[in-house]
Amino acid sequence: MLRLPEFVTQEYFTEVVKNLIDRKKSDMFKLARLERFHEGTSVQIMHIGPYDQEQPNIEKMHAFARANGYDITGKHHELYFGDPHRTAPEKLRTILRTPIANK
């Protein structure tokens, strides 16, 4: 769930994925998909470290949102950067994002 510029069309995305598959000799990129997703206003934080230690950062996001006049309107979701099979747990990077709305 990475934000892409508006100019990225399905055709362009398909071409980039095909080039990655050809260049990297990996079918892993076939899992990528382009979707339009409107979540609205959100609060997010970059968590660095093991997945099982995310809770304090989730609590920080919620506290920040409430302190600034927002309600939490949905469940948080996570965007993973790095391969947990090849990256040391203390170096894993995860964006934590929670949808919010004005009270």
**Quick one: pLDDT at residue 6?**
87
Q: What is the pTM assigned to this prediction?
A: 0.74
Is residue 36 pLDDT above 90, yes or no?
no
The total of other beta-carbon atoms located within 10 Å of residue 47's CB is 21
Q: Span 21-29, mean pLDDT?
A: 86
- Both 48 and 31 in one domain: the answer is no
Condensed to tens digits (0 to 9), the pLDDT of residues 49-93 reads: 999 999 999 999 999 999 999 999 999 999 998 889 999 999 999
- Both 92 and 59 in one domain: the answer is yes
- Both 50 and 28 in one domain: the answer is no
User: 76: which residues sit within 8 A by CB, 6+ positions away?
Assistant: 58, 61, 96, 97, 98
Residue 26 tokens read as: 């990996």
- Both 32 and 44 in one domain: the answer is no
Q: Which of 78, 74, 75, 103 is CA-nearest to residue 93? A: 78
Q: What is the mean pLDDT of the chain?
A: 92
- Both 20 and 45 in one domain: the answer is no
**Quick one: pLDDT at residue 96?**
97
- Both 30 and 71 in one domain: the answer is no
**Whole-angstrom Cα distance, residue 86 to residue 82?**
8
Q: Which helix (H) or strand (E) holds 24?
A: helix 10-24
- For residue 10, what are the domain limits? 1-37
**Quick one: pLDDT at residue 55?**
97
**Whole-angstrom Cα distance, residue 68 to residue 99?**
14
Number of structural domains the chain divides into: 2
